[in-house]
Amino acid sequence: MTVYSPLKIIHHAEHLQSLRDSRHTAPVRIQLVPTNRCNQSCRGCAYRMAGYPSSETFDDQEELSWDKLQRIICDCVVMGVKAVEITGGGEPTVHPHFNDLCSLIVDSGIDLGVVTNGSIWSPRHAETLARAHWVRFSIDAGTATTYASYRQVSPVVYRLVRDHVRQLTDMQCHPDSLIGVGYVVNADNWRDVLQAAEYAKDDGADNFRISALFQPQGRQYFETFFGEARDLCKKAEGLATDTFTVFNLFGDRLGDLESGPPTASLCGYSRLTTYLGADSNAYTCCCNAYSAHGLIGSFRNQSFRRMWEAPTTQEKLLAVDATQCQRCMYNTKNETIAYAIDKNPKHVNFI
């Protein structure tokens, strides 16, 4: 089993029971977007991609105030939220209170995960990220040329980010922390995936996570390079050791793209985790963020807790129909949840 296992839900029996009983409870985890501003311009950014659901109402200048962020974390403590993932949207470290936010989360006893491009760096950033349960550097390139072209920045940034990965892995981090490098395979960078995995290993990362670009064309987007990209991703798996893991999710994500809309209506995922955007709205998931389809409520003029516990929010979550989504990267998780809450499962004693 890996840290991406869909079976992690079995450790939250009380939440599974609430789903069986159609009761509304606090999410186990929230994805929190402190800002939509970003210091890079990635060609494959889902939030800035025409025709993709999460670009529907996205405003790249929206940002949550420090006061609002503090109130959200206080609500999480009271509600019993167990983990917060700081992500984008934009680049989280652009927010002027990024370090304060991370420290508040950890000091509140909540597990912290961070997704960052890693280009904004200081001794305080390093100290802050060293306290997280996990950090994933989104790099998506195996050369400075590819990096600069895809992210539309100077080629020197690539070396700087790799140095930041190395600095963090050299620090005394949280005992359970994992420092990873993320690689989203696309038409611009697929040739670099093996080289990028080798660099991640050389730079001391604990893991290398391979995924596939979600975009409006679906699997067809990968047609001209699928076979070669698949083979390179498979070769990258061969770099794994006892201290370096390669999570090759490329095939899983292509399967999600090929499958299109889910065939089952239940979206247990949206009941166990939620996405809080920098626009002060809550959404069912990152795939449906910043879209009318994914909107479940606003915490602009009220607290996150009040919004989440409101009867209207419960009604919206109970009414979520996954078959109405264009595509889903949480199919396997939802299938696992559906089986776990089945009130009449067959042949369970034949283990």
Residues in the chain: 351
If one counts every other C-beta atom within 10 angstroms of the C-beta of residue 173, the result is 20
Helices (runs of H) and strands (runs of E) counted in the chain: 13, 10
Helix, strand, coil percentages in the chain from 3-state DSSP, rounded to 5: 40, 15, 45
Strand-pairing partners, residue 86, are: 32, 114
What average pLDDT does the segment 24-51 reach?
A: 94
Give the amino acid at 247: F
**Whether residue 334 has pLDDT greater than 70:** yes
Could you read off the pLDDT of 139-176 as tens digits, one per residue? Answer: 999 999 999 999 999 999 999 999 999 999 999 777 88
Residues 6+ apart with CB under 8 A from 108: 73, 74, 76, 77
Q: Which residues of 288-305 are buried (b: 16+ CB within 10 A; e: fewer)?
A: bbbbeebbbbebeeeebb
Let me know the angle formed at the C-alpha of 193 by 192 and 195, rounded to the nearest 5 degrees: 65
- 53 DSSP 8-state letter: G
pTM over the 0.85 mark: yes
Could you read off the pLDDT of 42-101 as tens digits, one per residue? Answer: 998 989 988 888 889 999 999 999 999 999 999 999 999 999 999 998 999 999 999 999
Q: How far is CA 129 from the centre of its chain?
A: 16
Residues 6+ apart with CB under 8 A from 333: 6, 9, 268, 269
Q: Are strands 295-298 and 281-283 parallel, antiparallel or unpaired?
A: antiparallel
**Whether residue 20 has pLDDT greater than 80:** yes
Residues 6+ apart with CB under 8 A from 244: 200, 201, 205, 206, 207, 208
Segments in 137-263 forming alpha helices (H): 144-151, 156-170, 193-202, 226-237, 250-259
**Whether residue 1 has pLDDT greater than 70:** no
Could you read off the pLDDT of 244-265 as tens digits, one per residue? Answer: 999 999 888 777 777 778 888 9
